[in-house]
Structure 1
Amino acid sequence: MDIMRSVVGMVVLLAIAFLLSVNKKSISLRTVGAALLLQIAIGGIMLYFPPGKWAVEQAALGVHKVMSYSDAGSASIAGSTMIGYAALGVPVEYLLAASLMAIPGGILFARLLSPATESSQVSFNNLSFTETPPKSIIEAAATGAMTGLKIAAGVATVVMAFVAIIALINGIIGGVGGWFGFEHASLESILGYLLAPLAWVMGVDWSDANLAGSLIGQKLAINEFVAYLNFSPYLQTAGTLDAKTVAIISFALCGFANFGSIGVVVGAFSAVAPHRAPEIAQLGLRALAAATLSNLMSATIAGFFIGLA
């Protein structure tokens, strides 16, 4: 029954992507099918077949060994997000598998949501640049520094705007919820309730579906690190969640798909190509949807193979 539920979950995620597609007639079934099979194959090799599981476990041991070189665990390499997640108790083998499965998953849902309508005509032979090349190293360094400053300022400004918008929405939701006795209502809690049925279809037990939906909602509204931080206590206590639920949640949270990331992308590209800003902003939410669906598909596939084991 659980295996069939995971299969249904994969179909549901593909159906959601199909419904959100901007041009359903242009979807290449060959590309979509190949990407889906590759994502499933990577998941099967790394989570089900003994040689692949052994390789992933050895890689995970290597990560833990690197962490052990510091007295504070991961303090010496705090800049590595994978080490940070592992320090919270997230299984490293799941992080490694999710990172690889995200590659075909991204292609899969990008092709579903925004299928190519014509072949690309861009090549190195027909590229042209209007900017005058720098005359010296000093000019190149100065130009690069100014461009970097422009990008950093653009990203910071847009991210602050996105964070402020999320805070405003949470304030409104909390205020309205307070009238009805729900003082702690927020965007992430609402997303949690909305995503609970989807988490169940993906393979999570119904008793844990609200938790899974809430964590996915936190990842979308805030970021994946906060979601993993709130997931960590359940990982520290053995028996709180079953192995399949741990795997599904670990995979679902492993990605940078959140509203703040849209701000980073829009801010960076708008700084260097302001004339493309409307197009980039329009694609932002679609990119967020594709990335989120890719994470959820990886989680569903992981639950499928964990259930088979």
Structure 2
Amino acid sequence: MKYILFLAAIVIIFLLAYIVSNNKKRIKVKPLVTMLVLQLVFAFLLLNTEVGFVIITAVSTLFDHLLSYAAEGINFVFGGMANEGAGPFFLNVLLPIVFISVLIGIAQHIRILPIIIRYLGIVLSKVNGLGKLESYNAVASAVFGQSEVFISVKKQLPYIPQHRLYTLCTSAMSTVSASILGAYMTMIDPKYVITALVLNLFGGFMIANVINPYEVSAEEDIIDIQEGEKQTFFEVLGEYIMDGFKVAIIVGAMLIGFVALISMINHIFEAIFGISFQMVLGYIFAPLAFIVGIPQVDMVEAGTIMATKLLSNEFVAMMDLAKISDSLSSRTVGIISVFLVSFANFSSIGIITGAVKGLNEAKGNQVAKFGLKLLYGATLVSLLTAAITSIML
């Protein structure tokens, strides 16, 4: 049954992308088939083989160590603020982002990251049917995040046509930044974080290939990366420490606002209709949950989590998932977990638009015009990742 449902999910997801395609006649089938096969292979390796177990264990152990090192600095500054055994979300989940950000800054400064990102992007461009710039941007988004990545292509931004800009933004919204991976791993199983990270990379290319197909000439396909002003090692440390802290503060502030707002709306709905707003959304999203392989008994609860992520952000949804995970099947938890690992939500439209507008106002206005279509595509990427995962569980 799950194989039939998987095939149905693939057909429906691509049909939903096809319906809004800019140029249906230019859709290239070969790259789609190639990347779908690659997604299945990587999902199988990561979730069902000894090799995948070793990889995930190694990455998970690495982040465990990094988070323990981060805890040393956090305890030095904030030690004694929490009760013994307590685990404040801001201290244990968000503040470690500062340390991970520092490590990314160091890898960037010593020229390791630029080499990896550039050449991995070139390799990906051979299979995805898109340009080198799009491939570079997708990998860079997974390292730097959805707003910071556009700084690296600042010089090219004024000359990027709207159709290519859509693909760049889709990659940025479909992935997550490396600095936040450790935070996710404290909330959901690390194997689902890593699996989603890999599958979303290909999924972004696939959905963009359907919604926004185009050809890139060799003359257009030049990666001209903005290096920025040369900084000393300690200037880099200071900059990335502050960047990491800003991310932690912004995520914390958004959580305060969204959790409080959802609580208020739920209270109003329960007082008037006798049912929470999130539960109403759960029924609306239940068909999507069922399509990607969620068992029927869990599909309303799963739909609620999916809707919460779309309307607020992945952190709020992950916290809600943690509250009810014991009442859900392991299959449901796995599928929903990979769905949550992306930046596909309404607030990301503003984040990406603001980031691009800060670098080039005209291009920022273009992003604002296709903002809803951008979210639509990124959400289809998350659904595709969830469907691929479902066949392996």
* Equivalent AA in structure 1 for residue 41 of structure 2: A
Instruction: Give the superposition deviation at 1:117.
Output: 5.3
In 2, Cα distance between the equivalents of 1:183 and 1:203? 26
Per the alignment, do residues 183 and 248 of structure 1 end up closer, same or farther by CA in structure 2, a change over 3 Å counting? Answer: closer
1:180, CA displacement in angstroms?
A: 5.9
Asked if the contact 2:340–2:382 (Cα under 8 Å) also holds between the matched residues in 1, the reply is: yes
Change (3 A) 1:246 1:179: closer
Pairing partner for 1:97 from 179, 195, 198 = 195
CA distance in 1, matches of 2:287, 2:319: 23
Which one of 264, 270, 284 corresponds to residue 351 of structure 2? 264
Moved more, 196-205 or 61-70: 61-70
Q: Please, what TM-score do these two structures have when normalized by structure 1? A: 0.74
Q: Which residue of 2 aligns with 1:219?
A: 309
Deviation at 1:44, TM superposition (A): 1.4
**Corresponding residue for residue 323 of structure 2:** 233
* Offset of residue 28 of structure 1: 1.0
Q: CA 1:32–1:67 in 2, change beyond 3 Å: closer, same or farther?
A: same
Q: How far apart in 2 are the matches of 1:184 and 1:18?
A: 34
Instruction: Name the counterpart of 1:299.
Output: 386
Amino acid at match of 1:81: I
Supply the distance in 2 between the matched residues of 1:207 and 1:256 (Cα, whole angstroms).
Answer: 27
2:100 matches 1:82: no
Offset of residue 14 of structure 1: 1.5
Given that 1:224 and 1:254 are in contact with CA atoms closer than 8 Å, whether structure 2 keeps it comes out as: yes
**Cross-structure match for 2:273:** 181
Deviation at 1:179, TM superposition (A): 9.3
Shift of 1:225: 0.2
Contact 1:252 1:298 in 2 (8 A): yes
Q: Closer, same or farther in 2 for the Cα pair 1:233/1:116, shift >3 Å?
A: same
How far does residue 20 in structure 1 lie from its aligned partner after superposition? 2.2
Task: Name which of 87, 107, 111 aligns with 2:205.
Answer: 107
Q: Tell me the distance in 1 between the aligned counterparts of 2:36 and 2:299.
A: 25
Match of 2:12 in 1: 12
Query: How far, CA to CA, are the matches of 2:305 and 2:192 in structure 1?
Result: 17
Residue 55 of structure 2 aligns to which amino acid in structure 1? A
Query: Does structure 2 conserve the Cα–Cα contact (< 8 Å) formed by 1:199 and 1:212?
Result: yes
The verdict on how the C-alpha distance between 1:256 and 1:3 changes in structure 2, with shifts beyond 3 A counting, is same
Cα offset, 1:232, TM superposition: 1.0
- 1:17–1:112 contact (8 Å) kept in structure 2: yes
Q: Deviations over 1:51-104 (max 9, x none)?
A: 22332233223323433453788738521422222222x100110111111111
1:2 aligns with 2:2: yes
Partner of 1:22: 22
User: Do the aligned partners of residues 121 and 191 (structure 1) sit closer, same or farther apart at CA in structure 2, a change above 3 Å counting?
Assistant: farther
Matched letter for residue 48 of structure 2: Y
Change (3 A) 1:123 1:4: closer
- Rate the CA distance shift 1:33–1:282 in 2: closer, same or farther, 3 A: farther
Alignment of 1:89-168 (within 5 A): 90-116=188-214, 119=217, 121-122=219-220
**Distance in 1, Cα, partners of 2:67 & 2:9:** 35
Unaligned runs of 5+ in 1: 128-133, 138-151
Q: Secondary structure at the match of 1:115?
A: coil
Residue 181 of structure 1 aligns with an amino acid whose one-letter code is F
Match of 1:242 in 2: 329
Alpha-carbon distance between aligned partners in 2 of 1:182 and 1:115, rounded to the nearest angstrom: 46
Relative to the length of structure 2, the TM-score reads 0.60
What is the identity percentage for the equivalent residue pairs of Structure 1 and Structure 2? 26
Amino acid at match of 1:234: I
Larger Rg: 1
Mark the CA change 1:9 to 1:183 in structure 2 (over 3 Å): closer, same or farther.
closer
Aligned pair partner of 1:208 in 298, 309, 324? 298
CA contact (8 A) 1:223 1:260 kept: yes
